[in-house]
Amino acid sequence: MEAKMVSNQKAEHPVNSAFASKFAKSMFLSVLVLSILTFIGTRMFTHVDLNLYGYMVGTIVFLGGFFYRFIAWGERPPTKIIIKKGIKLLFRKSTPKTSVEQLATYRFIWNRGIYRWTQHFLIGWGCLLSCLVTFPLVFGWMYFTMPENGYYTIVLMGMDIMTVKADGLIANLSYNALNISAFMVIAGVCMALYRRIKNMQARAEQKFIYDFLPLYLLLFISITGLLLTVSNLFLHGWGHYVMSLIHQYSVVVTMIYLPFGKLAHIPFRPLSVFARNYREHYGEQSMKACKICGDEFVSSEQSKDVVQVLGINEIEFKKEDFHLAELCLPCRRKYRIAQFSGFPTHEVKVKEANQNAKG
């Protein structure tokens, strides 16, 4: 045992030995990369907006929570398999198409109905647009200068990209990008709240902290952000200082909460490409037939991985002459019902209206 421990210590990479944990290493490297990019983007910290300091601190705290949650999740046996095999399959020909469908067009939600697709599209792209604008501004990767009256120069990573008219289309879109994203998020959140209140099935499954609170936070951020514009345009700046603090605190609180609530699926969403590639690649090789009905329901590789993961977690589903993971979902449910009811499995009547639902 001691010899094995010594060999493991010798095999450890010297970089890893400098950190107390994977979390410490990930956090240090992330802050280091952000600092380097900020140093370059701000031209050696000569263009730093201290009014955005709170957002910068909130982002760093968010990264800490994100790495804590991701590492804890990534250490689970099934997650390790998906990540390991997903990286190997990342350069499949179908990866660009899958990435667009999973991360841009949300086609997997389209199959559930146009209403749910619209609300997800508005919330998803509204949040993404606001992040694409906010983070570059917060860390100084992008800013505007006015070399001459009536014209703005857009600076990206310390380089002058283009000069535009202060009252032109590009400038106006830049000014109002956050307002546009706020309207998108408000519309999407209102649609989501309406569905959660009116749909009986959704109402039965909802919890305030997990399902409603994230929506209220997004709604509050969007409304307070729009009120800043209202203060500047129509109230001559009245109440702007107080409202900017309220808006900033709401953003920081949401970012701290984000890794630990339902909104965590936003930064985790890219891994859905790994899962899709995993299913498609091994499904093309060979499929696993259900031991009872004979229908092919998953790939042979996925069935093998499920049995392996259950064994690692010391969860035994081995029955007389088959493993419960070797049954398709309907037959698995029938089998379990039969065990409790005492009726033969093939006589159990199970009607599943959404058994073959897509998405």
CATH number at 163 reads: 1.20.950
Please tell me whether residues 79 and 162 are part of one structural domain. Answer: yes
Q: Is residue 89 part of a domain?
A: yes
- What pLDDT was estimated at residue 100? 92
Burial 226-255 (b: 16+ CB within 10 A, else e): bbbeebeeeeeeeebeebbebbbebbbebb
Please tell me whether residues 208 and 309 are part of one structural domain. Answer: no
* CB distance 256 to 61 below 8 Å: yes
- What pLDDT was estimated at residue 121? 93
Please tell me whether residues 179 and 319 are part of one structural domain. Answer: no
- What pLDDT was estimated at residue 218? 94
Q: Is residue 297 part of a domain?
A: yes
- What pLDDT was estimated at residue 357? 47
Residue 6 CA to its chain's centroid (Å): 39
State which residues form the domain around 170.
21-271
Please tell me whether residues 106 and 251 are part of one structural domain. Answer: yes
- What pLDDT was estimated at residue 226? 94
Please tell me whether residues 235 and 322 are part of one structural domain. Answer: no
Give residue-wise pLDDT tens across range 161-188.
888 888 888 888 888 899 999 999 999 9
- What pLDDT was estimated at residue 181? 94
Please tell me whether residues 252 and 307 are part of one structural domain. Answer: no
- What pLDDT was estimated at residue 348? 57
What whole-number distance in Å separates Cα of residue 107 and Cα of residue 94?
A: 15
Helix (H, G, I), strand (E, B) or coil at 133: helix
- What pLDDT was estimated at residue 180? 94
Q: Give, for 164, the enclosing helix (H) or strand (E).
A: strand 159-165
- What pLDDT was estimated at residue 204? 72
Structural domain count, the chain: 2
- What pLDDT was estimated at residue 219? 95
- What pLDDT was estimated at residue 146? 82
Residue 194: HSE in the Cβ half-sphere, 13 Å Cα cutoff: 9
Please tell me whether residues 226 and 297 are part of one structural domain. Answer: no
Q: Which residues of the chain have pLDDT under 50?
A: 1-10, 354-359
Q: Give, for 280, the enclosing helix (H) or strand (E).
A: helix 271-285
CB neighbours of residue 346 within 10 Å: 10
- What pLDDT was estimated at residue 346? 54
Please tell me whether residues 163 and 291 are part of one structural domain. Answer: no
What whole-number distance in Å separates Cα of residue 141 and Cα of residue 279?
A: 38
Vertex 342: Cα angle to 336 and 348 (nearest 5): 60
